[in-house]
């Protein structure tokens, strides 16, 4: 296994180096190409698992399920069985749908559970430790997808993940770095003797095994979803909750069920945009942003110019203010989706944008946020030989979720409770403000920024896109779509392109380092914009159907270990 993995990683590194050497101004960059099928994910081994399933006769859903379980092993800081997410699909006949397997608040949760006696938020209580975990949805989601669309036996789809967990795999440089970065938090929650904390640190090339996780995956393989939500694994989860003061009960696990939802749809310059509905905020927000962008000649304005960055910022601050006010779980709150997607409403909302003057965020909506923090989620995209497309974004929320490793079961739990409005009007760890629509209620799903999205052109599949990145997910998807449609980029060029982000509060523009020319930054600052910098934003995994009919994978290898492969 080590030799195979090392050989694969060497090939990937060589491919990346080759692309970097050949990239010159105005020289096209093309991602992995496939005649019939494509998989793009956050890790080469997970992508390979998906491709193998497709080659052995599985469809896009089979491959996606296998990738999900594989990522739980090889990408444990975000890939998961202890978290949740969203699945969006488009069948080859044009029919669409989505599955919400977002986590839920435990039945014992309460509105003010993260506040002290003075009504102020207790630092880290909703972020780190047992009380931060919501009821996981990923395992149920995969079985619901399989029941409706799967063609290969579930045991066949889970077995590759079992093999990876039991026999082990080789860490990449990025994986070793992230384990070392979070070692202190992991030790605080799980003890100094926790096996993922090494005194001399992890290094690229080290081998790692998750034998307890392999046993849990065997339970799921042999007993179905009840192998996770019941039996020994459920016992291990509830014992872990009791050990650390968490709230998830056996009944919470038994009661969990994913929910099929109708996607939100819109248009952009002759393309149909299909995205995730609430409790994802991403689909509504992206459609609002694209409606606003359609009123400007983005193509002639250019990529990451003063004009384009200013307009995108102005659109984004209005849309994120709407997010904070109106969006939540539609099963608990009447989310005004029709109003937010109404062109008359958005025309009025964007009418105050001035081409040469910044709008102060306080003029749009009152509030205060000081920080936009980093986040880890993961996304993968699949297109099968029949033309079926699946986009899945899944998460633990922060790196390794709440850092709680379920003893005996071998996986991390999420800290998705932080995505609720612990105190309406006060930001969460990603600087996102929510209102009453997203207040904590037992069994409610928390609001999310995850934005799996599919694009059609002339009633045919055009793109499958998505990314991690917390609050920056929405703007990364927004820009990637425009990069292809407005700026004529290939899929890989669109993914590689430097990104900017703004979200109403804090009243700043976040730019990737070296992504915007100094002169442009000066011009924006002269308009009143405040610029902050980040090393990177998002890790896209996308697929484009090219004009010649070939599939192009766009994997964010410049920002992570992302890898696309087709055939």
Q: Could you tell me the pLDDT band of residue 24, with boundaries at 50, 70 and 90?
A: very low
Whether the CB-CB separation of 108 and 245 falls below 8 Å is answered with no
Q: What is the mean pLDDT of residues 437-462?
A: 96
> Which pLDDT score is estimated for 7?
42
- Six token digits for residue 59: 């469809």
Element (H, E) at 475: helix 472-485
pLDDT surpassing 60 at residue 4: no
**Mean pLDDT score of the chain:** 92
If you search the block for the tokens 């904390």, which residue do you land on? 197
Among 107-111, 468-472, 519-523, 557-561, the range scoring the smallest mean pLDDT is 468-472
Looking at domain 261-374+450-557, its CATH architecture is Orthogonal Bundle (1.10)
Could you give the CA distance from residue 538 to residue 480 in angstroms, rounded to a whole number?
11
Q: Could you tell me the pLDDT band of residue 17, with boundaries at 50, 70 and 90?
A: very low
- Prior bond of 198 cis (ω within 30°): no
Among 20-24, 35-39, 69-73, 544-548, the range scoring the smallest mean pLDDT is 20-24
Q: What percent of the chain has pLDDT over 70?
A: 92
DSSP state of 412: B
The answer for residues whose C-beta is within 8 angstroms of residue 279's C-beta and 6 or more apart is 100, 102, 327, 328, 329, 330, 445, 446, 447, 448
For residue 59, give the 3-state DSSP assignment. coil
If you search the block for the tokens 């203010």, which residue do you land on? 321
Q: What is the mean pLDDT of residues 204-209?
A: 98
End-to-end CA distance of the chain: 23
Q: Which residues of 66-83 are buried (b: 16+ CB within 10 A; e: fewer)?
A: bbbbbbbbbbbbbbbbbb
Could you give the CA distance from residue 418 to residue 565 in angstroms, rounded to a whole number?
35
The sign of the CA dihedral 251, 252, 258, 262 is positive
Element (H, E) at 325: helix 306-326
> Which pLDDT score is estimated for 401?
96
273 has which bridge partners? 266, 455
- According to DSSP, the β-strands at 460-465 and 541-545 are antiparallel
Tell me the per-residue pLDDT of 73-85, one tens digit each, with 9 for 90 and over: 999 999 999 999 9
Closest C-alpha to 309, from 105, 521, 490 = 521
Q: Could you tell me the pLDDT band of residue 421, with boundaries at 50, 70 and 90?
A: confident
Domain boundaries, the chain: 2-19+29-78+110-256+379-418, 261-374+450-557
Query: In 21-176, which ranges are E strands?
Result: 32-34, 38-41, 84-90, 96-101, 169-170
Backbone dihedral region of 234: left (phi > 0), alpha (psi from -120 to 50 degrees) or beta?
A: alpha
> Which pLDDT score is estimated for 26?
55
**What distances in angstroms separate CA 351 from CA 345, 354, 471, one per listed residue?**
10, 8, 24
> Which pLDDT score is estimated for 15?
42
> Which pLDDT score is estimated for 374?
53
Q: What percent of the chain has pLDDT over 90?
A: 85
- Six token digits for residue 396: 């633990």
> Which pLDDT score is estimated for 364?
83
- According to DSSP, the β-strands at 377-383 and 389-395 are antiparallel
For residue 231, give the 3-state DSSP assignment. helix
- Six token digits for residue 440: 């904590």
Could you give the CA distance from residue 333 to residue 445 in angstroms, rounded to a whole number?
11
Among 33-47, 315-329, 428-442, 471-485, the range scoring the smallest mean pLDDT is 428-442
pLDDT surpassing 80 at residue 431: no
Among 119-133, 145-159, 254-268, the range scoring the smallest mean pLDDT is 119-133
Tell me the per-residue pLDDT of 333-374, one tens digit each, with 9 for 90 and over: 999 999 999 999 999 999 999 999 999 888 887 566 665 655
> Which pLDDT score is estimated for 361?
85
- Prior bond of 279 cis (ω within 30°): yes
Among 328-332, 383-387, 421-425, the range scoring the smallest mean pLDDT is 421-425
pTM: 0.93
Could you give the CA distance from residue 451 to residue 439 in angstroms, rounded to a whole number?
21
pLDDT surpassing 50 at residue 139: yes
Q: What is the mean pLDDT of residues 128-151?
A: 98
**What distances in angstroms separate CA 538 from CA 174, 290, 371, 471, one per listed residue?**
15, 19, 17, 10
CA 72 to chain centroid, in Å, comes to 14
Element (H, E) at 4: helix 2-22
The answer for residues whose C-beta is within 8 angstroms of residue 200's C-beta and 6 or more apart is none
554 has which bridge partners? 542
266 has which bridge partners? 273
The larger pLDDT score, comparing residue 433 to residue 455, is at 455
The answer for residues whose C-beta is within 8 angstroms of residue 518's C-beta and 6 or more apart is none
Closest C-alpha to 480, from 306, 316, 343, 303 = 303
> Which pLDDT score is estimated for 205?
98
Residues recognised as catalytic? 377
> Which pLDDT score is estimated for 25?
44
Q: What is the mean pLDDT of residues 267-278?
A: 98
460 has which bridge partners? 457
pLDDT surpassing 60 at residue 175: yes
268 has which bridge partners? 271
> Which pLDDT score is estimated for 437?
86
- Six token digits for residue 95: 């029919």
């Amino acid at each position: 296994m080590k030799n195979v993995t090392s050989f694969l990683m060497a090939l990937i590194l060589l491919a990346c180096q080759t692309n970097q050497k050949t990239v010159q101004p105005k020289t096209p960059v093309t991602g992995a190409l496939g005649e019939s099928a494509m998989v793009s994910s956050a890790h080469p081994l997970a992508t390979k698992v998906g491709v193998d399933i497709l080659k052995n006769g599985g469809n896009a859903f089979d491959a996606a399920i296998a990738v999900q379980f594989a990522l739980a092993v090889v990408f444990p800081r975000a890939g998961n069985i202890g978290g949740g997410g969203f699945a969006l699909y488009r069948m080859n006949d044009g029919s669409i749908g989505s599955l919400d397997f977002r986590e839920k608040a435990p039945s014992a949760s309460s509105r003010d559970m993260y506040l002290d006696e003075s009504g102020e938020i207790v630092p880290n209580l909703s972020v780190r430790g047992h009380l931060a975990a919501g009821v996981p949805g990923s395992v149920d989601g995969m079985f619901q997808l399989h029941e409706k669309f799967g063609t290969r036996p579930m045991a066949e789809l889970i077995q590759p993940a079992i093999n990876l967990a039991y026999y082990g795999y080789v860490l990449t440089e990025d994986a070793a770095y992230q384990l070392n970065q979070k070692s202190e938090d992991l030790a605080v929650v799980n003890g100094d003797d926790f096996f993922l904390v090494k005194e001399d640190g992890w290094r690229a090339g080290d081998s790692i095994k998750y034998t307890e996780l392999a046993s849990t995956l065997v339970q799921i393989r042999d007993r179905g979803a009840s192998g996770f939500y019941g039996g020994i694994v459920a016992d291990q989860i509830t014992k872990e909750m009791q050990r650390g003061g968490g709230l998830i009960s056996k009944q919470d696990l038994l009661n969990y069920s994913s929910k099929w939802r109708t996607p939100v749809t819109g248009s952009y310059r002759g393309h149909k945009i299909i995205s995730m509905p609430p409790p994802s905020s991403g689909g509504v927000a992206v459609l609002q942003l694209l409606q606003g962008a359609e009123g400007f000649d983005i193509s002639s304005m250019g990529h990451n110019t003063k004009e384009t960055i200013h307009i995108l910022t102005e659109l984004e601050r209005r849309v994120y203010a709407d997010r904070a006010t109106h969006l939540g779980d539609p099963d608990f709150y009447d989310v005004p989706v029709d109003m937010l997607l109404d062109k008359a409403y958005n025309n009025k909302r964007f009418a105050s944008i001035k081409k040469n003057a910044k709008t102060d965020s306080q003029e749009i909506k009152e509030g205060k946020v000081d920080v936009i923090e980093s986040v880890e989620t993961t996304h993968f995209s699949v297109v099968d030989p029949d033309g079926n497309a699946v986009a899945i974004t899944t998460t633990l929320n922060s790196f390794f979720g709440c850092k709680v490793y379920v003893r005996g079961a071998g996986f991390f739990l999420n800290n998705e409770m932080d995505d609720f409005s612990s105190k309406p009007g006060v930001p969460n760890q990603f600087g996102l403000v929510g209102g009453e629509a997203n207040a904590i209620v037992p069994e409610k799903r928390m609001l999310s920024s995850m934005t799996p999205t599919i694009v059609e052109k002339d009633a045919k599949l055009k793109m499958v896109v998505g990314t991690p990145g917390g609050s920056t997910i929405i703007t990364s998807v927004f820009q990637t779509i425009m990069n292809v449609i407005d700026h004529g980029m290939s899929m890989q060029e669109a993914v590689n392109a430097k990104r900017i982000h703004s979200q109403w509060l804090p009243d700043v523009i976040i730019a990737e380092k070296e992504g915007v020319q100094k002169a442009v930054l000066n011009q924006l600052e002269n308009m009143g914009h405040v610029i902050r910098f980040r090393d990177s934003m998002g890790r896209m995994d996308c697929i484009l159907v090219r004009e010649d009919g070939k599939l192009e994978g766009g994997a964010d290898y410049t920002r992570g270990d992302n890898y696309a492969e087709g055939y």
